[in-house]
Amino acid sequence: MSDVKTEIQGIVDASDVVLFMKGTKEMPQCGFSSRVAGVLNYMGVDYRDVNVLADDAIRQGIKEFSDWPTIPQLYVKGEFVGGCDIITEMTLSGELDQLFDQKSVTYNKEAAEKIREANA
């Protein structure tokens, strides 16, 4: 397990924003992964997607790494942010914008506003 943990830590450390998901950002394989990838894609966030369906060790290991039972999982600058429900809530409340601003992650502020307007 320590090899998988080291691999996951390396992935998280190598990119500012990482989404462990089912499928890829171009072709999500579950609704929850699709929702989070859709938000990040729409907001123009540059992020690394890790398809947990392609590697069972990563799929199980990420749950232990974060102590979070579900996928997708979003990491920003090495910090675990949350899964689909948390990212959805943060997007709608503006907290995700604040996190990106604090962590100096580039995103499209107008797109973030459009998401909130569409869900008001």
User: Which residue ranges form the domains of the chain, and what is each CATH number?
Assistant: 2-118 (3.40.30.10)
pLDDT at 100: 98
Separation CA 74–CA 37 (nearest Å): 10
Using one digit for the tens of pLDDT, what is the confidence trace for 37-93?
999 999 999 999 999 999 999 999 999 999 999 999 999 999 999 999 999 999 999
Separation CA 19–CA 40 (nearest Å):
9
pLDDT (0 to 100) of residue 2: 79
Cβ atoms of 28 and 21 within 8 Å: the answer is: yes
Rg of the Cα atoms in the chain: 14
Give the global pTM.
0.96
Helix (H) or strand (E) holding 41: helix 31-42
Q: What is the pLDDT of residues 14-28, one digit of tens each?
A: 999 999 999 999 999
DSSP string, 42-92: HTT---EEEEGGG-HHHHHHHHHHHT--SS-EEEETTEEEE-HHHHHHHHH
